[in-house]
Amino acid sequence: MLKFLWLTSVVIVAICIATTGSSADPSIWAPPQLAMLIEEGLAKNQNIKSLESQVKSLREEISFAGSLNDPRIGIALLNIPTDSFRFDQEAMTQKQIFIAQKIPWFGKLSLRSQQAAMKAIRQEAILKAKRLELAREIATTYYELGFVAGGQKTNERLIKMLTQLLRVSETRYSAGQGLQQDVLQAQVELSKLLDEQITLGKKRRTLEDRINSLLNRGSFIPVTPPESLPYPDPVLEMEELQTQALAINPWLKVKQAEIELAGVGIELARKDYWPDLDFKVAYGQREEDFNGRDLPDFVSTSVVMNIPLWKKTRQDKKLEATKLSHQAALQSYQNLANGLPHKIDALVTDIRNLQKNYKLITDALIVQAEQWARSSLIAYEVGKVNFNTMINAQIRLLRFELQSENYLFSLYEKRAALEELLAHPLFIRSRFNGTQRLLFRCPKHFFYSLTLFFLYSQGYIFNVCVQTNKIEYSAHSPAIYIFCCDDLVQTFVIIFNTSG
């Protein structure tokens, strides 16, 4: 119980002080090589840079939208007689200077500022969604490249194997122990593999070009495909994932901003029924008259306002248009919100089925195919099975191995698509049971020092293992495990055994 209290105090202190630190857009999980590609893409992709410039532009417009128009200053000549054009002939003749300022009705400036702010917020949400979309596109292409590269390796192994079998069959045929059809079949299979090799080479180049394009590279740079990825076993709690998606999905954030923007538009349209006020102050200077009498100068003030005389064709129509825009934004949001849980359900179902397929093919089919390939090769050497059976067994084994890689890379592709909808990496299932999770974000280095200090003072000994871009701290005691990920702003997952 004392350890639990210590942990609770650490968490509370860390949460309380985690008010500073750099912020970063949440992204999808990625191994080191892919993480570097995503980082490069987010830094160099011109669509992303264009959106970032638009966000900065809209932010600058906020203060402009909420400020008054520039005051106006002018000069005028009033009541000049046309018979002489003299300034001292008429008493009302004057030289005038004036200053004027137009002031919108109360609340308009604030609403205009809110409108500009909501446009910037909407654009920021679009930028975040596009960054996630780009990261997912790079990841998907990268995993496809991994599968194609795996196919090339399998193809090379098959070519090497068939070349050897072709030599064996030719030797057996020349010695009168084999059949000519075995030689011909080996040649046909080898030619098919050579054709497949060309196709795989084209696919690989296409995928590498796609990645180079997403990264906005000026020239082609080869991309190293992924190798030996661990089997992903993310936590897939359907209802929890659907709730998270409805709360933080970036495109839902865009739709929410559009609803709020349309709402501000309605309030601003209602304000348009009220007039704007134009204040004017003028000073008129007069000359002496014919009798030499000094005439006093004039000071004039005025207020001008617009009258909504044509409101049926102006203000009424604008208000109706903004209401329709608000309704359209609500409908668009509702459509996305209704469809999002189904997308989550489909992706989770795909991931679960791919996990089953992967385990079946690795735990059963590949093992059985290995036994079949080994026994058929031995039987062929002593003449108990024909060449066709033996070669099919060898090819089937390698095809199963390639299919297992296909399932693995497909798992990562589906995982990336799911993380794009959730806007954060999935939590990976721990091997420990009977645990609870607490997630929060704070500056990483301070949390490392503070947390490890308190836990070390309580007798915990930590193992540090680096697994791709994820650092995992796990205590030897079954009472507490700490996992952290995300390089810029740490997402810490505290797992503690409630029975301890």
Nearest to 444 by CA among 481, 473, 402, 410: 473
Tens digits of residue pLDDT in 7-38? 444 444 334 433 333 333 447 888 899 999 99
The identity of residue 45, as a single letter, is N
Burial class (CB in 10 A: 0-12, 13-18, 19+), 344: buried
- Least confident piece of the model among 24-28, 192-196, 231-235: 24-28
pLDDT of residue 178: 64
In the predicted model, is pLDDT for residue 364 greater than 80?
Answer: yes
The identity of residue 463, as a single letter, is N
Whether the CB-CB separation of 488 and 35 falls below 8 Å is answered with no
Q: How confident is the model at residue 173 (pLDDT cuts 50, 70, 90)?
A: low
pTM exceeds 0.85? no
Q: How confident is the model at residue 451 (pLDDT cuts 50, 70, 90)?
A: low
pLDDT of residue 88: 79
H/E stretch holding 108 reads helix 108-174
Which of 4-8, 206-210, 235-239 is most confident?
A: 206-210
Nearest to 419 by CA among 348, 315, 479, 487: 348
- Least confident piece of the model among 246-255, 376-385, 471-480: 471-480
Strands (E) across 121-230 are located at: none
Tens digits of residue pLDDT in 66-107? 999 999 999 999 888 888 888 877 888 889 999 999 999 999
pLDDT of residue 428: 67
Better pLDDT: 500 or 243:
243
Q: What is the mean pLDDT of the chain?
A: 79
In the predicted model, is pLDDT for residue 482 greater than 70?
Answer: no
- Overall average pLDDT of the 172-190 stretch: 72
DSSP assignment string, 441-467: EE-HHHHHHHHHHHHHHTT--EEEEEE
pLDDT of residue 500: 36
Query: Tokens 């933080």, residue?
Result: 248
The residues near 433 (Cβ < 8 Å, ≥ 6 apart) are none
The residues near 123 (Cβ < 8 Å, ≥ 6 apart) are 51, 54, 55, 58
- Overall average pLDDT of the 472-492 stretch: 36
Q: How confident is the model at residue 336 (pLDDT cuts 50, 70, 90)?
A: very high
- Overall average pLDDT of the 186-193 stretch: 81
Strands (E) across 133-221 are located at: none
Whether the CB-CB separation of 169 and 387 falls below 8 Å is answered with yes
pLDDT of residue 342: 95
Tens digits of residue pLDDT in 290-307? 777 788 888 999 999 988
